[in-house]
Amino acid sequence: MKRIIFFVAFLFISAASFGQILKPVKWSYASKRINDKEAVLLLKATIDNGWHIYSQTVPKNGPQPTSFSFLSSKAYQLNGKVQAAKPIVKHDPTFDMEVGYYEKSVVFQQKVKLTGNSPTVKGTLTYMVCNDKQCLPPEEVAFSIPVK
């Protein structure tokens, strides 16, 4: 009987180790006030070694670009588009085209005009992460960034 219990426990532990979900990208958020009426939102992707996420602009029929969607609010207005450092641009054999991507980390910045006191900016971001062997399905992540 003990052998059967041990075998069943071993089976569950083995199955759990194979079922781990890959999470090669960690997102963090912050805001920085420029003055009383303006702030910058900082959305940082920290990317595991060997993985990369794509820039905001990729060719048609290419990988899922990183994109941002902000909820409307009377407390703030977006000021321009999301900005980021210049991506690495190389030929991607998976998609057979030149694409821009980021490795290790990247900070995306969005300026906002403040029309209310200490707003919280909410929205979602979508990104796709790949390495030289595989691409994970695009992922959508909700965020909430208080502006203090």
Give strand pairing partners of 53: 102, 129
d(CA 2, CA 8): 10
Q: What is the pLDDT of residue 20?
A: 62
Q: What is the pLDDT of residue 95?
A: 87
Q: Is residue 5 domain-resident?
A: no
Q: What is the pLDDT of residue 15?
A: 40
Q: Is residue 63 domain-resident?
A: yes
CATH code of residue 131 = 2.60.40.1250
Total count of domains within the chain? 1
Q: What is the pLDDT of residue 148?
A: 87
Q: Is residue 18 domain-resident?
A: no
Look at the chain and count its residues. 148
Q: Is residue 94 domain-resident?
A: yes
Q: What is the pLDDT of residue 134?
A: 94
pLDDT digits (tens, 9 = 90+) for 63-100: 999 999 999 999 999 999 999 999 999 998 888 999 99
Could you tell me the residue range of the domain that residue 27 belongs to? 23-146
Q: Is residue 89 domain-resident?
A: yes
How is residue 124 written in tokens? 């979602």
Q: What is the pLDDT of residue 1?
A: 47
Q: Is residue 11 domain-resident?
A: no
Return the CA Rg of the chain: 20
Q: Is residue 9 domain-resident?
A: no
Q: Is residue 14 domain-resident?
A: no
Side chain identity at 72, as an amino acid letter?
Answer: S
User: Residue ranges of the chain with pLDDT lower than 50?
Assistant: 1-18
> Given phi > 0 = left and psi -120 to 50 = alpha, else beta, which region is 80?
left
How is residue 136 written in tokens? 């994970």
Single pTM value for the model: 0.84
